[in-house]
A and B are shown apart, each in its own frame.
Chain A
């Protein structure tokens, strides 16, 4: 049993030990906590930056020419707000030189137009870019070849084009007026080998217009903006059998910045009798559009 002085001495000794230990612990914690906090802060900032797309390269859309059919390439919402120059650059990246010599990519509207139109999109994050969606068709098989140096090309008329494509447009012709005399062109090498053909028919009436693109050598393509819910695959029955058509409902074109018509444009893409079709309709009712697609598919 300790006497009072021993107890007092022991108690104060233990109090001192406690204070020393606490001081040492605090130093250790401080020494560990500062670097740990720095690391955590850096990690948190990194995550924040990545999630916030701080390092995003605005000039590139990650849309490659998909080799797998049905691949969806996501377009960041910011892309919708890019100015026309950026988008033109993008369109070249996407499509390469599939417009023939002397042809220019579709004209783009002003950037002001695009920003106004993008506001019509209720939820841009839902918008997806679709490209080369024709069922059972590989883009790599029908990618537009680059015209070679020793090629020559020829523009042709509607008759020449329809004969080449073996498609009867009589049903369409009854309701709409063909708006172009030069409807297509082909590119051949000097040895008469066909390199590429590209045919475009613009039909109009007082209500709306159609742009029909067709080619045997590649898939006429454009990047379109569409909300996922509006993509419908359907089968159009024809006298030659079923044709698988992918309809896009209300869409806008990234290429042409055609956002103003985002609520009125419909697109169908399909392959029929060796010809790749892409039909774009503006201000046309769904019924008329279906009829037109059906007429082409039955041609």
Chain B
């Protein structure tokens, strides 16, 4: 599968529902965790991810093919999350201690991230600014290039670079405060 593009084409042009099912299986978890960095609530993020797939199924937007399918999908998800935040008119930032969805989130993290070190890193990210969380998630967990991350976040590459730098420093100091060290940062 070429990053989901062919699956989406099958669904869009041939009404093959399995194409959309493949996309959901492939991208759901990553998208939820990415959207979670926006809304700070794993269930809301799950609903927003669902909304993203529903939008693909109903509006059937055309992928202009400028970037990878994953970048395009995350951009759609981001737009939906922003709309949600505008409607709810307040950004729900919740600390990891207060998170009642901890169990679900932990399961998802373990299932998706797998690496123990990265899971620790992801948990530490919860205390960062949403923008830092988003960029760190895209670059360090999804493996997006700076250009792809910039495209998803609708920023210039230079701005994204600066954002990554600041986010990384912020996370590093947070980890140091909690007694962790992460060499890759």
| Interchain CB contact under 8 A, A18 and B58 | yes
A1-36 vs B, CB cutoff 8 Å, 1 = contact: the mask equals 110100110111011001100000000000000000
Known A11-B54, A11-B57, A14-B54: A4·B24 in contact at CB below 8 Å = yes
A8 in contact with B24 given A2-B46, A15-B57 (CB within 8 Å): yes
- Known A1-B104, A1-B107, A19-B58; contact A11-B46, beta-carbon cutoff 8 A: no
CA A18 – CA B53 in complex, angstroms? 13
Query: Are B58 and A7 interface neighbours, CB within 8 A?
Result: no
Please, which residue of chain A has its CB at the minimum distance from the CB of B54? A14
Q: Residue of A at shortest CB range from B58?
A: A18
For B21, the closest partner residue in chain A by CB is A8
CB-contact partner of B28 in A4, A12, A14, A18, under 8 A: A4
Residue of A nearest to B101 (CB): A1
Q: Return the chain B residue nearest A16 by Cβ.
A: B57
At the interface, yes or no: B157 with Cβ under 8 Å from chain A? no
CB contacts (< 8 Å) of A11 on chain B: these are: 20, 24, 50, 53-54, 57
Q: For residue A15, which residues in chain B have a CB less than 8 angstroms away from its CB?
A: 54, 57-58
Bound complex: CA of A19 vs CA of B24, how far in Å?
20
Alpha-carbon distance A10/B50, docked complex (angstroms):
8
- What residue in chain B is nearest A13 (Cβ atoms)? B54
CA distance A12 to B58 in the complex (A): 10
In the complex, what's the smallest C-beta–C-beta distance from A275 to chain B, in angstroms? 87
A15–B23 Cα gap in the complex (Å)? Answer: 15
Residues of chain B contacted by A12 (CB below 8 angstroms): 17, 20, 57
CB distance from A20 to the nearest CB of B (A): 11
Contacts of A18 in B (CB 8 A): 54, 57-58
CB pairs A–B below 8 angstroms (25 shown): A1-B46, A1-B104, A1-B108, A4-B24, A4-B25, A4-B28, A7-B49, A7-B50, A7-B53, A8-B21, A8-B24, A11-B24, A11-B50, A11-B53, A11-B54, A11-B57, A12-B17, A12-B20, A12-B57, A14-B54, A14-B57, A15-B54, A18-B54, A18-B57, A18-B58
Binding site for A on B (CB under 8 A): 17, 20-21, 24-25, 28, 42-43, 46, 49-50, 53-54, 57-58, 104, 107-108
